[in-house]
Chain A
């Protein structure tokens, strides 16, 4: 199985400007967040990328990432009917192929090196998906106090694998009560759950499931991806992979600052940034 396509959803009404925020990447180059995300996808061998945008945002987005325009296409999400609907808008682009899906408000740092080279999070995920030949979502062990922000999976560790789980249940932003009843994963510390990393490799069958939701919801909206993934888990093999890396949600309070620091501290400007931070700490009251 080859993953040649990626879909980036960037049509959230409240966060439409987030992907256009500027920051400095690991290599010390200034670029918008969307570029960093696109590069993450390209690093994994993806050839074509679709960005799902709000109507009217296409030009601004394409201008911001013009260096990659040959591989990009913008798809307009016609109505704010939910995150799941956003992804569903890419069904023609996907056209029956498995695809990498990234969200536009997360940035990633990887901690895995192989042969002296950094293996990005997207690379790690795609390798697993290709090996296992099924849908795989990247996940991260998350303390229960962060449950209100993420989709969370429940499942069991795949025998013989340290960071691969077969998914049995998916719930979007569960309460801790719900999580404790339905999402406990054996082997994890008490109060920790596997939450989505904002990165998935999905089989085209997910589009079929989303279509059912879209049909049922009509113009009411509220179409989410998590219920569709929960259904996917009941229908076919669906895994979760604990990535060697971290995600940074740039949409939360100080999220962009945090993500910037993480990128800087994992790149070649690390010493310079650290020195600046130390100076800042020593002079601040």
Chain B
């Protein structure tokens, strides 16, 4: 309950931001934080922070606490750092960082606030406070959702049950009778010999949900619970077919359950080709052990193995005896008919709902064993699905279980009333209400016309929607002006669509055209206003081409779910729908080919047929000859049964084989099954496949050093190198630098620097080197795309890649000083061809200056990690602890991966993936010597002999550009290498500038003897380096003239390389399989790093502190939103001149 202002302490009554939070007046409550902060001074902001901090600690109301937390986050992340007079340099206390990693956010905040009180506010401490407030905000929300899920009536008992003898559920008697009748015939069978009759199969078939409009992701739980009036979704249950593969649409999600004559739980996923026989209760809670986590979550959330029994040490057989009967168990099988992952149709939530529904029906928790569910039962299944998602460590929106309901429905948030578990805690209920649209709301003719016009596709991209949902929540709480207006618009657009559905359809005025116009406007307007990252170059290419190809017959685009690129909808005039299906497939395939190195694609695009499902989830009982599981189940299991001695099979198994054999002869859908079984029984002998040959060829082509590889393997196996051995000796002294050790150019400059720089630029003495050999593992979580080509953001009105941005900066500087800048892009086996092809196709993005590609000359083959290194990474290095359940899932995954490493062979070659995912570049140290080896530097110096300086930068350091003053400073300092460093924020991990045993140098994070050492360093290495060409050559023992002597060049590189440390690193790589499925494996590789050049005493290395916007790197796509909002994007744009 809200307090009136006079009940608040004095400092809080003075706070304008608390007024915004507590005001009952929507016009004040919905005021934007940004608008207020824009004009506030540092001291005003700090005073507000103090008041908000006291306020949020005192309040019980969820909304007030969470909004205060997000206000605090935003002030520290966006507003304080921008204010003049805010000191940049500062240290983040390691103790606070450790609290953050362990999810002790309150303690972390205490430590950071104490540091702020002691040392004064700094950019560094604000970054730490922002991270802590942000995490605490989301933790508070997640805890509330979890509490609400647990307190839903009907779920609570499952958390109380801790012993099988207390189990209150019983399998319905129909499932124990071969013909599904009510009498329990097992009593009549010869149970003394365990010889049961066949058991019937309960089959649940569930449509997936399609989302006509979600009013700006208003189905996020917190939005629904805080702003139920605005939480509205128009949601349609649909059957699906893949065009060209399936004959007609059918409910894509199927869950099967039957009693079996063994006291075990058998789980099988037909689509993932995975099955397990579980006899141990603990294994049911081991979600990441195999691909059956979703089925396990369903069994738990349905109460068959209730969550309360986890860790009880009880017997699963005893539990099954109570629920099913002595000596009996259950088999549960799932199938989604090969609908690809990432369809944005909530397939996994629908499957979870379907599985929970079948389990609940089987145990009498739904009134009817077969047919549709009743409304209160659907709501309970939906609540259990939320619980199941939480158990499995995932989560979607509250509309995702919409497929349980029939037809079209308006799902909307509900105000919590007295008696609800949410009452007094949040404004809205956890679960929304579902209003099924009647024939008046959406006449059958309109529904048919919608089906006749809409082409559903899966574009092939698979992306993580998680960060987007967090951004939406954050922006909602901050009420950022544009986004809040966008939300209002989205709500109006939903009204428009609802109104259009009521329109009487006529030939002249098809309501689908109005719907198409509305969804297109929604996508282009509010959706992208709230989250610009929902669109991408691929989607926009598809829309453009649909317009070009189908002109006025293309009626609109429709983004399904969280973001575009995967599942999408395109609306066409009915008469061209058939052509549009084929045409869109062509457009998608060709666009994917063009962009597949730049954007993460998980699969080939597909086009669906769909039909509105009028049943919702629906069950039937298959008995007698009909009691068969899906064909894929038999393809997986029959070979195993056939290999066994027939006498070992139970009567139930023999009967089933017999039924299946009969069905194979008579059912057309089982045509070809004999061949499939034959292939499984007698698999072809494995030969060296094309993939292996390509890998070997690539290794040979790329100068792979077998001797060195074997040496590294040997060292890894014996433990001479490894993650622990990367570190400097523990007695090494790591000290922060003093102000005299660096030249701070953040606010100061000298006219002579500029003059020297301008002169050098006018003379054409500078070239730029962009490092583009890596795949950006963090950027796409190991998807293996070329980060340099990733069209990551709209700049200058279009999606631009990293390379295009870097060239645009060189263009601007070249224009400014009248001499084009030579631009060199280093590449590797992974990136060379795609970059070369793209530059050719894009005509060098219109870059007029000299442009060179410097192909890599060193390559490594990734290896399976050692268990020792995996344990070191996961158990000894600080890790971000996840939410309780997600952490359990992660630990289970770690066990599985350690098992994988052991079984595959520690330090064996990693070759079980596409070749490009098996190879690795060997670190950016090699990029510069590569310029010597591959002749690119020699060529440059021939064309432009006056070049004296190279500006080297990472592909993701978007602010790095040829700055005249910095160049002049470098030239006048006489340095061989001038490294640019920036003041540290909490997210800047990976080493820094230090005095190591007295020597000023950069030290890698991998080499820090202790984790806390890094937190004593004020400056972070941006990697941007000004290089004096001749002095660098001298460090290698070379002169310009030696570049033509390859033997000398090679020998000099080897000599210096031997002095550079070799680091062992773990990288995540994705292995793709099936229908858009991806597994991530940790693999080991080695690297030499450029920053270690500063450890050479004969090389004169200097260090300059540059503004953060110049030196910061974009490592993770989740950073993009902050990058756009904090002015970084605008800063980069100001450096560019687009072609």
Quote the shortest CB–CB distance from A174 to chain B (angstroms).
9
Residue B153, interface by CB 8 Å = yes
Residue B364, interface by CB 8 Å = yes
Q: Flag if B365 contacts A144 (CB, 8 Å).
A: no
Q: Flag if B160 contacts A175 (CB, 8 Å).
A: no
The answer for the CA separation of A176 and B303 in the assembled complex, in Å, is 10
Q: Flag if B169 contacts A175 (CB, 8 Å).
A: yes
Q: Flag if A144 contacts B168 (CB, 8 Å).
A: yes
Residue B363, interface by CB 8 Å = yes
Within 8 Å by CB of A175, from B153, B161, B165, B364, lies B364
Which residues, 101 to 129 on A, are CB-close (under 8 Å) to B? none
Quote the shortest CB–CB distance from A213 to chain B (angstroms).
17
Q: Contacts A145-B167, A180-B156; is A175 near B363 (CB within 8 Å)?
A: yes
Residue B170, interface by CB 8 Å = yes
Q: Flag if B360 contacts A177 (CB, 8 Å).
A: yes
Residue B376, interface by CB 8 Å = yes
Residue A206, interface by CB 8 Å = no
Within 8 Å by CB of A177, from B157, B165, B170, lies B157
Quote the shortest CB–CB distance from A131 to chain B (angstroms).
32
Complex interface bits, A159-192 against B, C-beta within 8 A gives 1, otherwise 0? 0000000000000000111111100100000110
Contacts of B166 in A (CB 8 A): 143-145
Contacts of B360 in A (CB 8 A): 177
Contacts of B170 in A (CB 8 A): 148
Chain B residue at minimum C-beta to C-beta distance from A175: B365
Contacts of A144 in B (CB 8 A): 157, 160-161, 166, 168
Residue A147, interface by CB 8 Å = yes
Q: Contacts A175-B363, A175-B365, A176-B303; is A181 near B169 (CB within 8 Å)?
A: no
Residue B1061, interface by CB 8 Å = no
Residue B818, interface by CB 8 Å = no
Q: Flag if B157 contacts A178 (CB, 8 Å).
A: no
Which residues, 334 to 392 on B, are CB-close (under 8 Å) to A? 360, 363-365, 376, 380
The answer for the CA separation of A249 and B155 in the assembled complex, in Å, is 29
Q: Flag if A177 contacts B380 (CB, 8 Å).
A: yes
Q: Flag if A176 contacts B168 (CB, 8 Å).
A: yes
Q: Flag if A148 contacts B168 (CB, 8 Å).
A: yes
Contacts of A177 in B (CB 8 A): 154-155, 157, 303, 360, 365, 380
Q: Flag if B154 contacts A180 (CB, 8 Å).
A: yes
The answer for the CA separation of A184 and B151 in the assembled complex, in Å, is 13
Q: Flag if B365 contacts A178 (CB, 8 Å).
A: yes
Within 8 Å by CB of B154, from A143, A145, A181, A191, lies A181
Complex interface bits, B141-182 against A, C-beta within 8 A gives 1, otherwise 0? 000000000000111111011000111111000000000000
Q: Flag if B168 contacts A181 (CB, 8 Å).
A: no
Contacts of B157 in A (CB 8 A): 144, 176-177, 179-180, 191
The answer for the CA separation of A184 and B376 in the assembled complex, in Å, is 16
Q: Contacts A147-B168, A191-B157; is A181 near B380 (CB within 8 Å)?
A: yes
Most buried by A among B153, B156, B157, B170: B157
Contacts of B168 in A (CB 8 A): 144-148, 175-176
The answer for the CA separation of A148 and B161 in the assembled complex, in Å, is 15
Contacts of A175 in B (CB 8 A): 168-169, 363-365
Which label, helix, strand, loop or mixed, suits the secondary structure of the A interface?
helix
Which residues, 36 to 71 on A, are CB-close (under 8 Å) to B? none
The answer for the CA separation of A181 and B157 in the assembled complex, in Å, is 11
Contacts of A148 in B (CB 8 A): 168-170
Complex interface bits, A135-169 against B, C-beta within 8 A gives 1, otherwise 0? 00000000111111000000000000000000000
Contacts of B153 in A (CB 8 A): 180-181, 184
Quote the shortest CB–CB distance from A22 to chain B (angstroms).
27
Q: Flag if A190 contacts B156 (CB, 8 Å).
A: yes
Contacts of A184 in B (CB 8 A): 153
Quote the shortest CB–CB distance from B851 to chain A (angstroms).
67
Contacts of A146 in B (CB 8 A): 168
Chain A residue at minimum C-beta to C-beta distance from B303: A177
The answer for the CA separation of A177 and B366 in the assembled complex, in Å, is 9
Q: Flag if B365 contacts A191 (CB, 8 Å).
A: no
The answer for the CA separation of A172 and B420 in the assembled complex, in Å, is 26
The answer for the CA separation of A143 and B160 in the assembled complex, in Å, is 11
Quote the shortest CB–CB distance from B1051 to chain A (angstroms).
77
Chain B residue at minimum C-beta to C-beta distance from A184: B153
Contacts of A181 in B (CB 8 A): 153-154, 376, 380
The answer for the CA separation of A148 and B303 in the assembled complex, in Å, is 15
Within 8 Å by CB of B169, from A176, A190, A191, lies A176
Most buried by B among A177, A179, A191: A177
The answer for the CA separation of A184 and B153 in the assembled complex, in Å, is 9
The answer for the CA separation of A175 and B302 in the assembled complex, in Å, is 12
Chain A residue at minimum C-beta to C-beta distance from B156: A180
Contacts of A191 in B (CB 8 A): 156-157, 160
The answer for the CA separation of A143 and B167 in the assembled complex, in Å, is 11
Quote the shortest CB–CB distance from A79 to chain B (angstroms).
16
Which residues, 298 to 340 on B, are CB-close (under 8 Å) to A? 303
Quote the shortest CB–CB distance from B169 to chain A (angstroms).
6
Quote the shortest CB–CB distance from A252 to chain B (angstroms).
13
The answer for the CA separation of A148 and B169 in the assembled complex, in Å, is 7
The answer for the CA separation of A28 and B755 in the assembled complex, in Å, is 118
Q: Flag if B161 contacts A145 (CB, 8 Å).
A: yes
Q: Contacts A144-B168, A147-B168, A148-B168; is A190 near B160 (CB within 8 Å)?
A: yes
The answer for the CA separation of A148 and B364 in the assembled complex, in Å, is 10
The answer for the CA separation of A146 and B153 in the assembled complex, in Å, is 19
Q: Flag if B165 contacts A145 (CB, 8 Å).
A: yes
Chain B residue at minimum C-beta to C-beta distance from A143: B166
Chain A residue at minimum C-beta to C-beta distance from B169: A175
Contacts of B363 in A (CB 8 A): 175
Chain A residue at minimum C-beta to C-beta distance from B164: A145
The answer for the CA separation of A175 and B153 in the assembled complex, in Å, is 12
Quote the shortest CB–CB distance from A189 to chain B (angstroms).
11
The answer for the CA separation of A59 and B157 in the assembled complex, in Å, is 47
Contacts of B167 in A (CB 8 A): 145
Most buried by B among A144, A146, A148, A176: A176
Chain A residue at minimum C-beta to C-beta distance from B157: A176
Which residues, 174 to 225 on A, are CB-close (under 8 Å) to B? 175-181, 184, 190-191
The answer for the CA separation of A178 and B160 in the assembled complex, in Å, is 15
Quote the shortest CB–CB distance from A178 to chain B (angstroms).
7
Contacts of B376 in A (CB 8 A): 181
The answer for the CA separation of A235 and B155 in the assembled complex, in Å, is 31
Quote the shortest CB–CB distance from A13 to chain B (angstroms).
12
Quote the shortest CB–CB distance from B326 to chain A (angstroms).
12
Quote the shortest CB–CB distance from B384 to chain A (angstroms).
9
Contacts of B155 in A (CB 8 A): 177, 180
The answer for the CA separation of A181 and B151 in the assembled complex, in Å, is 11
Contacts of A176 in B (CB 8 A): 157-158, 161, 168-169, 303
Most buried by B among A143, A146, A148: A148
Contacts of B160 in A (CB 8 A): 144, 190-191
Contacts of A178 in B (CB 8 A): 154, 365
Chain B residue at minimum C-beta to C-beta distance from A222: B182
Chain A residue at minimum C-beta to C-beta distance from B158: A176
Contacts of B364 in A (CB 8 A): 175
The answer for the CA separation of A191 and B165 in the assembled complex, in Å, is 15
Chain B residue at minimum C-beta to C-beta distance from A178: B365
Quote the shortest CB–CB distance from B1069 to chain A (angstroms).
44
Quote the shortest CB–CB distance from B198 to chain A (angstroms).
25
The answer for the CA separation of A231 and B155 in the assembled complex, in Å, is 27
23 contacts between A and B (CB under 8 A): A144-B161, A144-B168, A146-B168, A147-B168, A148-B169, A148-B170, A175-B168, A175-B363, A175-B364, A176-B158, A176-B168, A177-B154, A177-B157, A177-B360, A177-B380, A178-B154, A178-B365, A180-B155, A180-B156, A181-B154, A181-B376, A181-B380, A190-B160
List 14 additional contacts besides A177-B155, A178-B154; criterion CB under 8 Å. Answer: A144-B161, A148-B168, A148-B169, A148-B170, A175-B168, A175-B169, A175-B364, A176-B303, A177-B157, A177-B360, A177-B365, A180-B154, A180-B157, A190-B160
Ordered nearest first, which 9 A-B pairs have the shortest CB separation?
A: A145-B166, A176-B157, A177-B154, A176-B168, A175-B365, A177-B365, A181-B153, A181-B154, A180-B153
